[in-house]
A and B are shown apart, each in its own frame.
Chain A
């Protein structure tokens, strides 16, 4: 039987050896991504240099980079970053300590959950910045103000995620625990906490992002020492506008770094979970 396209190769897929294409593929993707970033930066630079966007409002990326480089050598810079990081970590820890036990309790007890559901629903929709004026009155332009906001903002996602995690405990695991008459402490330690852990981890990630946002925001508006305060000060003087943008970059970098860190930590601690999950989906 004659074949119409006998000389046509197998749909553009030439025979290629094993693992090498995978690495080659990754390099290619990385290259394209870098190129896109470069194009974006170049466009930004061009927009400012050509005058399309006034330099008094938006600084060129090269100027920002230069200023950032200079700032890295100053004490002022590092103490600002230190303040922000400090408040962030403490705030996150406080909300962890409050939200997780509470979440476990409310998740486990249907009665308590239903009693507190409306209250939690209401409190969690309050935009955290609403507390800033009050906090400023109570504590002034000090770290406690920012801490109050951060703690209030981060508690809710953590609480909700923990409760959700408890609800998601596999009923089969519960049955196993009851069948083998596990003590309550053992149940909590060996079944409940590990099952809820992935959800708590997601909550930590959400809370971390929100905390950074709130720390910087309260520093900005409240004049509390830190990255936010620097931004607020820098925006007032034309010569300092590049520094303002530099600080924005720094805050972003902090956020990205912490997110990566948490993801890596999550992957290590919960390695059993991702493996377990992928087996279930197979």
Chain B
């Protein structure tokens, strides 16, 4: 048997034990929920079995097209728009510190506006529908990206600038291969916050002003007293949030591989 190799029986057992440790609590919670609610007659906490069958009925697959699809589309559109504009403006502010300083109080105030409070105003201006939803997402999610980008660009090592000037590196390379890459850890951190904000905004805006979407379904089920339907929409949103997070982590791992390696080397 090879020493220290992962393919030993002991290695495999250890790894599956580690995995089991991580999964035992979630599994136990689901089982407990199932058991505790199985005979339930409570109006608001129906048996988990009913919720699961409602989930299968509604979301697999009749409502995926008309509801889940638009929700995800609008979320993606709003998030991308927020990220891109946040990065562009953030880089500009970071590279021009005097501009950043002049605009600082305005940016701080705009960031502090509780985005959910602006949704009625957004409905007034943009009506009900996708443009309102995307607008609402952008108005809230752009701030963490923008401010983190500006911070990241401002904090770039001055030596990077020296190298760029001394080797007369062209502005395109300077921007894309030096400034953006150097600030990317901060930018990605901002994008992570922006993602959870975007999800909150899409759900809320669908509840307030929409005719379709998962959030809309959620509220409609509640109003129609379709409690299992309501719970299944909640579970779907939970799962989606989790999946988006995992996707984002993959993205982060790819973009910041160099940064992890560098930090690991200095520890």
A and B touch in the complex (CB under 8 A): yes
Residues of A within 8 A of B (CB): 29, 32-33, 35-37, 40, 53, 56-58, 111, 114-119, 121-122, 125-134, 136-138, 209, 212-214, 216-217, 220-221, 227-228, 231-232, 235, 241, 244-245, 247-248, 251-252, 255-256, 259
Chain A residues, Cβ within 8 Å of B244: 125
Cβ of B25 < 8 Å from any Cβ of A?
yes
| Chain B interface main SS type | helix
Number of chain B residues whose Cβ lies closer than 8 Å to a Cβ of chain A:
52
B106 and A37 contacting across the interface, CB-CB below 8 Å? yes
Residues of B within 8 A of A231 (CB): 117, 120
- Residues of chain B within 8 A (CB-CB) of A217 are 114, 116-117, 204
Output the least CB separation between A56 and chain B (Å): 8
28 A–B pairs (Cβ distance < 8 Å), ordered by A: A35-B102, A36-B105, A57-B124, A57-B125, A58-B121, A58-B125, A111-B21, A115-B24, A119-B29, A122-B26, A122-B238, A126-B237, A126-B238, A127-B196, A127-B241, A129-B200, A130-B237, A133-B219, A137-B44, A216-B116, A217-B204, A235-B123, A235-B124, A241-B124, A245-B121, A252-B114, A255-B114, A259-B112
Which of A36, A57, A136 is in CB contact (< 8 Å) with B222?
Answer: A136
Set of chain B residues within 8 Å of A131, measured between Cβ atoms: 234
Set A115, A213, A241: member contacting B114, Cβ < 8 A: A213
Q: B222 to A134, Cβ gap below 8 A?
A: yes
CB contact under 8 A between A125 and B114, given known A36-B103, A119-B26: no
A-contacting residues, B224-260, CB 8 Å? 227, 230-231, 234, 237-238, 241-242, 244-245
Of A53, A118, A241, most B-chain CB atoms within 10 Å: A118
User: Of B207, B230, B241, which one neighbours A126 at CB under 8 angstroms?
Assistant: B241
A248 and B44 alpha carbons, distance in the complex (Å):
34
B208 CB-CB contact with A under 8 Å: yes
Q: Is the interface of A mostly helix, strand, loop or mixed?
A: helix
Q: Bound complex: CA of A136 vs CA of B234, how far in Å?
A: 14
Q: Is B54 an interface residue (CB 8 A)?
A: no
What is the CB-to-nearest-CB distance from A7 to chain B, in angstroms, rounded to a whole number? 28
Closest Cβ neighbor of A122 among chain B residues: B242
* CB within 8 Å for A228 and B117 given contacts A125-B245, A221-B208: yes
A95 to chain B, nearest CB (A): 16
Partner of A251, one of B113, B208, B218, B237: B113
CB contacts under 8 Å to A, within B61-97, are none
Q: Measured between C-beta atoms, what is the minimum distance from A79 to chain B in Å? A: 18
Q: How far is the CB of A235 from chain B (nearest CB, A)?
A: 4
B21's partner among A114, A216, A221, A227 (CB-CB below 8 A) is A114
CB < 8 Å neighbour of A115 from B22, B103, B105, B119:
B22
| Contact among A115, A213, A259 for B116, CB-based, below 8 A | A213
Most buried by B among A126, A137, A232: A126
| A133 B230 Cβ-Cβ under 8 A | yes
Inter-chain contacts of A29 with B (CB < 8 A): 101-102
Residues of A within 8 A of B104 (CB): 33
A114 lies within 8 A of B22 (CB): yes
Q: How far is the CB of A15 from chain B (nearest CB, A)?
A: 24
Residues of B within 8 A of A214 (CB): 116
A133-B214 Cα distance, complex, nearest whole Å: 13
A71 CB, min distance to chain B CBs, angstroms: 15
Complex formed: what's the CA distance from A238 to B29 in Å? 50
CA distance A134 to B231 in the complex (A): 8
Do the beta carbons of B106 and A130 come within 8 Å of each other?
Answer: no
Closest to B207 in A: A221
